[in-house]
């Protein structure tokens, strides 16, 4: 399961970098229509946040000194994904108002 969490974490960070750097590039070029953050919308941002939360929660649970089983680690990872998604939804809602 460590490989699943690490792949999710890496893909989430790559997506986050694309959103941040692509948004900066689109802003500098004056092409707001090319901004990846605008193109994927709030649901896409929520998915990226949830994937990063899943990877971070799973990796943290797997490398915990408590010697958790993989089932407990998976539950912790799913909980982290849900909390991360809710946080992204709240954050996007705060910036759009």
Q: What is the pTM of this model?
A: 0.88
Q: How far apart are CA 3 and CA 12, in angstroms?
A: 14
Question: 68: which residues sit within 8 A by CB, 6+ positions away?
Answer: 61, 62, 76
Rounded to 10 degrees, the C-alpha dihedral 66/67/71/77 comes to: 50
Q: How far apart are CA 85 and CA 47, in angstroms?
A: 7
pLDDT at 97: 59
pLDDT at 43: 92
b/e burial code for range 66-77 (CB count within 10 A of at least 16 → b): eeeeeeebbebb
Question: What are the 10-residue block averages of pLDDT along the chain, 97 residues in total?
Answer: 95 96 92 88 93 96 92 96 95 80
pLDDT at 32: 83
pLDDT at 95: 81
């Amino acid at each position: 399961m460590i490989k699943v969490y690490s792949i999710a974490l890496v893909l989430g960070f790559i997506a986050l970098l694309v959103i941040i750097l692509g948004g900066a590039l689109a802003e500098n070029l004056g092409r707001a229509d090319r901004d990846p953050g605008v193109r994927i919308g709030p649901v896409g941002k929520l998915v990226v946040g949830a994937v990063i939360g899943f990877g971070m929660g799973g990796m943290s649970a797997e490398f915990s000194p408590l010697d958790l089983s993989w089932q407990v680690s998976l539950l912790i990872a799913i909980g982290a994904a849900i909390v991360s998604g809710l946080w992204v939804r709240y954050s996007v809602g705060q910036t759009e108002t």
